[in-house]
Amino acid sequence: MTLPTATESKDVILEVCNLSKYYPVNQSFFSGKKALLHAVDNVSFQVNRGEVLGLVGESGCGKTTTGRLIVRLATPTSGRILIENTDVADIKGQGMMEFRQKVQMIFQDPYESLDPRMTIFDIVAEPLNVNGIGTFEEREAQVEEMLNLVGLAPPSAFLFRFPHELSGGQRQRVAIARALVVRPSFVVADEPTSMLDVSIRTGIMKLMAQLREDLGISYLYITHDLAVARYLCDRIAVMYLGQIVELGDSEDIVKKPVHPYTKALISAVPVPDPAIERPIPNIKGGVSKPIDPKPRCRFYDRCPESESSCAEAKNPELRDIGGGHLVACHLL
């Protein structure tokens, strides 16, 4: 599967430009001094039609916030979000209604993302009901078709059951059916497999890959797991403290990482083979929070390759090092 990179392709479904989200935090209880947590800071990327972009990073790096901004569960502080060339960063009313049918989300925890008091039928039909799509019979047919599609067959065996009567994998399939029932063109998937058991996880991953082929959906796939991102995504963006530090073809990122953080992240992933000795990721310290960050490279304090020039230089921007492989680092 070789897909054109963003720069070559014209058919862009999602374009994010300089997206930022700052949260005010109280630095100290007594001083009442307001500080800003730069949860997402000046993030730009594109997703092409039919493509899967992986957003990878550790907890607190802003990947989930980015996802929530794109589906407009949160309103960005600044920046633009273009879905099929329409800016959705501050739409309301009718525009929002149409947007909700175009962009959907799959959540991490299948035990929490389904209303425990609703039947599977009501859950999957909800997007159709609230948008007033189709007659009752049509909705029902849609729901059954969707359940079939996500592998809950026969649908009649599931329609009138409650979430607690299903297993974790089945629930996540219901959540996927709900997201896809309005036939969105873009789906944000926030770690949909991380809560599932290994034997169930594979099935969901394969389902997501299958649905992408069948329905031509584009995904933003948010995960902390590089191996999963590699398996499912065409391109991977690595985030660190609210910024994208490296973006490129999945194989490039995994095989030929350039940014010191990506390198450390990859070498830290355990491998299922006792014979392999992994190099020790020589990254210093721990993750801090991007509260009023200094204007230099965010990774400077932990970077094993940093030079004194990095301390004075401004925050590096993403630069193309060839073949659509973007890296934000001064040392190239």
Partner 1 sequence: MDTLLRLEDLTMHYKTKAGWVQAIDGVSFSLDKGQSLGLVGESGCGKTSIAMSIMRLLPYNAQLVKGRILFGGRNLYALSDEEVRQLRWKEVAMIFQAAMNSLNPVYSVGNQIIEAIVTHEPETGEDEARERVESLFELVGIPKERMDHYPHEYSGGMKQRAVIAMALACNPSLIIADEPTTALDVIVQDKILREIEDIRRKINMSMIYISHDVSVIAEVSDVVGVMYAGKLLELGPADDVFKRPKNPYTYSLMHAYPSILGEKHDLVTIPGEPPNLLDPPTGCRFHPRCDWATKECGETAPLWREITEGHYLACHNPIRTKQGKSCKQQKTAKGGDVIDTSDGN
Partner 2 sequence: MNELVPTHETGSASLAEPLWKIRWKLIRRGIAQNWEIFKESRIGMLGIILIIAFGIFGAMWPIMINTVWDPMVYDPVVGFDPMTMHPSPPSATHLFGTDPIGRDILAQLMYSTGREFLLGVLSAVITVVIGTAVGTAAAYYGGFIDTFFMRIADIILLFPFIPLLVVIGSMVRLSFLPFAVIMGVLGGFGGITIILKAQALSVSVRPYIDAARIAGGSDFHIIVSHIIPNVLPLSFLYMMFSVTSAILSEATLSFFGVLNIDMSWGMMIHTADVAGYLFDFAKYWWLWAPAGLAITLFCAAFYMVGRGLDEVVNPRLRKR
292 binds partner 2 (CB under 8 A): no
User: Among partner 1, partner 2, none, what binds residue 104 when CB lies within 5 to 8 Å by partner kind?
Assistant: partner 2
For the bound state, the minimum distance from the C-beta of residue 169 to partner 2, rounded and expressed in Å, comes to 17
Among 19, 37, 69, 71, interactor with partner 2 by CB under 8 A: 71
114 binds partner 2 (CB under 8 A): yes
User: Among partner 1, partner 2, none, what binds residue 206 when CB lies within 5 to 8 Å by partner kind?
Assistant: partner 1
Among 130, 269, 271, 311, interactor with partner 2 by CB under 8 A: 130
User: Among partner 1, partner 2, none, what binds residue 179 when CB lies within 5 to 8 Å by partner kind?
Assistant: partner 2
Nearer to partner 1, 127 or 155 (CB): 155
For the bound state, the minimum distance from the C-beta of residue 62 to partner 2, rounded and expressed in Å, comes to 17
For the bound state, the minimum distance from the C-beta of residue 312 to partner 2, rounded and expressed in Å, comes to 42
17: tokens are 């430009």
Binding site for partner 1 (CB under 8 A): 58-59, 167, 169-170, 197-203, 205-206, 224, 226-228, 230-231, 251, 254, 264-276, 278, 280-281, 283, 286-287
For the bound state, the minimum distance from the C-beta of residue 197 to partner 1, rounded and expressed in Å, comes to 4
Q: With contact defined as beta carbons under 8 Å apart, do 194 and 160 qualify?
A: no
Cα end-to-end span (Å), the chain: 29
Nearer to partner 1, 14 or 226 (CB): 226
CB count, 10 Å around CB of 98?
15
User: Among partner 1, partner 2, none, what binds residue 154 when CB lies within 5 to 8 Å by partner kind?
Assistant: partner 2
Q: CA quadruple 2, 225, 108, 143: dihedral positive or negative?
A: positive
User: Among partner 2, partner 1, none, what binds residue 157 when CB lies within 5 to 8 Å by partner kind?
Assistant: partner 2
b/e sequence 173-197, b meaning 16+ C-beta within 10 Å:
bbbbbbbbbbebbbbbbbbbbebbe
What is the C-alpha separation between 283 and 60, in angstroms, rounded? 17
306 binds partner 2 (CB under 8 A): no
Coil, strand or helix: which one is 319? Answer: strand
x-or-dash string of contact with partner 2, 159-198, rule CB under 8 A = xxx-------------x--xx--x----------------
105 binds partner 2 (CB under 8 A): yes
* Residues forming beta bridges with residue 46, ordered by sequence position: 15
Q: Which residues contact 193 (CB under 8 A, 6 or more apart)?
A: 172, 201, 204, 205, 223, 228
CB count, 10 Å around CB of 66?
29
For the bound state, the minimum distance from the C-beta of residue 91 to partner 2, rounded and expressed in Å, comes to 13
User: Among partner 1, partner 2, none, what binds residue 332 when CB lies within 5 to 8 Å by partner kind?
Assistant: none
127 binds partner 2 (CB under 8 A): yes
Q: With contact defined as beta carbons under 8 Å apart, do 218 and 48 qualify?
A: yes
Helix axes 168-180, 120-131, angle to 10 degrees: 20
DSSP, residue by residue, 192-234: TTTTS-HHHHHHHHHHHHHHHHHH--EEEEEES-HHHHHHH-S
Task: Give which of 101, 102, 139, 99 is closest to 123, Cα–Cα.
Answer: 139
Q: Which residues bind partner 2 (CB under 8 A)?
A: 71, 73, 96-97, 100-101, 104-105, 107-109, 112-117, 119, 126-127, 130-131, 136-138, 140-141, 144, 154-157, 159-161, 175, 178-179, 182
